[in-house]
Structure 1
């Protein structure tokens, strides 16, 4: 599946969801977790990930913690309180979107509710 525009539009939500399940993660760890969970179907590039992380940080949704690991500095990202609220909102928004797409592509799906 690669890096389709559909996934790119959901990148922030993917990041927030992963961070809601972990105390903190660093960039490479996020890319590997996505790759693992999607069995390699989705591979997030650094060129897509880091601008998204920086944008979320600028919005006050993420905070950064720097730690020295193996004599190198590593940036860990974690949700702020605002980020936790934003995660709930974004996940609801995505669930509603998926439900609407299911109804559009399979009208019988909407009748079962």
Structure 2
């Protein structure tokens, strides 16, 4: 998959990815989120800060996230965690995504593959 293709697919799922990671890890900071995504996908998906932070800020505006700033090694680090509304949203978004993935899996497995079609 090219980088352009993966960015296009990622755009529609980034919110769900962030909510899922925060639901599992209680609280995280931006770099930590990017590294978790990279590790879990074997480097197939890499989040840029330019994509991640607008999503974090939007979720915060919507009341899904709380932020805490702490000094770590002389630098300020902003941690994100889910509010009760964020936890509920995470559950809904993950369930929606799982249904979508199951539907896509069924669609991709049905009928002859693209390579097997005659032109």
Query: Do both share a fold (TM > 0.5)?
Result: yes
- What's 1:89 paired with? 92
- The answer to whether the aligner puts 1:20 opposite 2:23 as a matched pair is yes
Aligned length: 108
Which runs of no fewer than 5 residues in structure 2 stay unpaired?
A: 112-119
Q: Distance in 2 between matches of 1:77 and 1:21?
A: 12
Q: With the length of structure 1 as denominator, give the TM-score of the two structures.
A: 0.90
> What RMSD over aligned residues (CA atoms) do the two structures have, in Å?
1.2
Q: State the TM-score, normalizing by the size of structure 2.
A: 0.86
Q: Per-residue CA shift, 1:37-91, capped at 9, x if unaligned?
A: 1111100000000000000000000110110111111100000000000011001
TM superposition outliers: structure 1 runs of 4+ over 6 Å: none
CA drift of 1:104 comes to 1.5
Distance 2:103 2:50 in 1: 30
Unmatched segments (≥5 aa) in structure 1 = 109-113
**Greater radius of gyration (CA):** 2
